[in-house]
Amino acid sequence: MNSQLPAAIGTPLDRIDGPLKVTGGARYAAEYRAEGLLHGAVVSSSITLGRILAIDSNAASAIPGVHWVMTHLNRPPLAADDDSYEDQDSADGSSFRPLFNDRVLYNGQPVALVIADDLETARHAAALVRVEYESRPHSTDLRKNQAEAIPAPAEPPGPRGDADGALCSAPVRIEAEYELPVEHHNPMESHASTVIFQSDGSLLVHDKTQGAQNSQSYLCQILKLEPSRVRVQAAFVGGAFGSGLRPQYQLPLAAMAAIKLKRSVRVVLTRQQQFTFGYRPRTVQRLTLGADETGRLLGLVHQVTGQTSRFEQFTAHVAQWSGMLYRCDNVRLTYRLVPLDVYTPLDMRAPGAAEGVHALECAMDELAWAAGINPLHLRLINFTDTNQNLGKPYSSKALRDCYSEGARQFGWPTQMPEPGTLREGDQRIGLGMATGVWEALQMPASASAALAVDGSVVVASATTDIGTGTYTAMTQIAAEALGLPPEKVRFVLGDSSLPKAPLQGGSFTVSSVGSAVREACLALRQNLLDAARQLPSSPFQHFSDDQVQCSDGRLQAKTAEHRVGFVELFQRYGSLRASATAHPSALRQRYATATHSAVFVEVAVDEALGTVRVRRVVSAIAAGRVVNPKTARSQIIGGVIWGVSMALHEASLMDHRLGRFMNHNLAEYHLPVQADIGDIRVLFVDEPDPVVNPLGSKGVGEIGIVGVAAAVANAVYHATGKRIRELPITLDKLL
């Protein structure tokens, strides 16, 4: 059966959830009400390392409206005393447990929770809690502690060939070190949990999360609760970028308080407290590249040093991209971690790739200028159809098309002017480019589809929508599979009671959940046909599956006038349902799968002030079949803006004497505003891929940021002749 409607996939459909968001109809975790709702305020540690000697909460408890001050001394039991639990995005080691004992592991750690009738009272009382500490010397500086580095548990691919030997004899060679700072996610919606204590003692939790089922599993494990007693919902999430992959500490704090008091409790973290959990870790990367006179890579060494906490070993794929993006037979990749007295880092948009590809693409630019080769041509010379880390061909790789079409629309010169020679008045003009890459994954996922009384279809999966357009994309996938207009499909998500879905991250939601939605809708379509064949004197008994199509809410024979509407089938049989679980196909195992991009940037650098303005960006993307070009374009634009921010603005600055982030607010944590962003042009190249998943879609959430900061840095070099290898590129470094 095939739909004769125009394909819903590939149509630039407006966001399904748009009207709710712009009218205030969408409710977020801190906006749900409950009778007798109490509010919690977290007390954060003022030391970095040591232990708590005493907590004086008398003044706080005396405030009218304060119900309880929870500490490690009086909290409900935590089941995780044996470190036996983990969440879907946990790192190796012992996960942090709030209010577990008297130990202080990092600055800003929660040491108490004040519960009161309203938020203002809770925060006032929290300021009156006095904590006496025994402080110990701490270490928080990656640079000063590199000698303590240990091998990362997730080692990069092993060496191939003789990288050191090839580099020694290479006619053209560059060696450079690149440093990237700590960055914090800073989504618009602060982390919050509203735990509604219900009459039967069960918990209905509204949590800011990228996985409702992950939050449910976490609570059940650490509080020894049956899954049937905990339901987590996250219908709307105001941005996350990875900060919601792991349950943050406001969730167990709110749940413990609700269980103890048998009342509904809400805990919302302040903007400052958003800086007291995961972040993009600081990295120092050393790259050595060698090439022959034509620019062909002969050897490559990429050494990464990153930071982690004392209690977990956080790892990301930082170095592996250098072994797969270009053709090179002699490669050595290393990845080491420095344990520090900080909280554990956390995945942040394109984790690992945003850092590792940045260093690689800056080094490639340096190699291009050292060899006297156009930076774009150098990348074409070293193009590969094979992922050499895996020894597998790519299922598709339209990167050449990204290069050619991106360069054409940008106006990339065939002959590059020398660095520092392009000027417009007092502005130095520079051009830069970089390649982007991200893995195209698929995870097991489930979905259900049910026919409604009006002939519409309700499709459901436990996935979330952190602003990526999941509601809309899944609606389009279901509409195409069932031959329905999108307005006749309702997609339900963000509920732990729905069919199982992976965390939303890694650009695999469309690939994973979308494939499950498609399978569930195809199964429902088959059920509809089977039901139609059971109708009295049904003509559909005489037609095979291939001779019947779904179109505009009806089953219709292709070669005859026989038809039956979904509404009639509902009236006859009630709600017909189907469910499905989609798994990666065995065919994928024979291939490497990835998205790719080519980013072209023009900057203007003020000669007197050293200020940098990104005037225009062209981002060309190869991401398989794009489900919704409109929302996908927005995803890439957001990634480009973040890449510009990464290059020129963002850094979490720590006073290492205190072990505390100093700019822990949106006034001093610099982000770009409208005036900082020039013209951004996004284009998607055609990239059919029957291997990656049945939809042929690779996802676009991560790829938008990868390579952008490198392209900006390379453009700044071209404008000024000065190479800045430490981000962000600020005017003091240029001057």
> Hey, which residues are catalytic here?
702
Rounded to whole angstroms, the Cα distance separating 245 from 363 reads: 32
Rounded to whole angstroms, the Cα distance separating 31 from 19 reads: 18
Give CA torsion, residues 294, 295, 298, 304, to 10 deg: 170
Peptide bond into 151 cis (omega under 30): no
Q: Which amino acid is at 290?
A: G
Q: For residue 489, what are the CA distances in angstroms to 16, 162, 501, 586, 623?
A: 10, 57, 19, 31, 25
Burial class of residue 484, CB neighbours in 10 A (0-12, 13-18, 19+): buried
What is 194-208 written as a DSSP string? EEEE-TTS-EEEEE-
Residue written as tokens 């600020």? 730
Task: Say whether 414 sits in a helix, a strand or coil.
Answer: coil
Report DSSP state, residue 30.
G
Of 616, 632, 611, 613, nearest to 687 (Cα)?
632
Rounded to whole angstroms, the Cα distance separating 586 from 573 reads: 37
Q: Which two tokens stand for residue 659?
A: 């072990």
Q: Are 699 and 518 in contact (CB under 8 A)?
A: no
Residue written as tokens 């009384």? 453
Task: Say whether 524 sits in a helix, a strand or coil.
Answer: helix
Task: Say whether 517 sits in a helix, a strand or coil.
Answer: helix
Rounded to whole angstroms, the Cα distance separating 695 from 197 reads: 41
E strands in 153-296: 172-180, 192-197, 203-207, 230-233, 265-268, 283-291
Phi, psi of 588 (to 5 degrees): -60, -30
Rounded to whole angstroms, the Cα distance separating 253 from 604 reads: 49
SS (H, E, C) 527-583: HHHHHHHCCCCCHHHHCCHHHEEEECCEEEECCCCCEEEHHHHHHHHCCCEEEEEEC
Q: Which residues contact 116 (CB under 8 A, 6 or more apart)?
A: 38, 39, 40, 41, 63, 65, 66, 67, 122, 125
Q: Which two tokens stand for residue 613?
A: 């303005």
Phi, psi of 641 (to 5 degrees): -60, -45
Rounded to whole angstroms, the Cα distance separating 348 from 244 reads: 10
Q: Taking CA 556 as the corner, what is the angle to CA 553 and CA 562, rounded to the nearest 5 degrees?
A: 125
Q: Which residues contact 530 (CB under 8 A, 6 or more apart)?
A: none
How many Cβ atoms from other residues are within 10 Å of residue 271's Cβ?
Answer: 13
Q: Which residues contact 499 (CB under 8 A, 6 or more apart)?
A: 445, 446, 447, 448, 460, 461, 462, 516, 579, 581
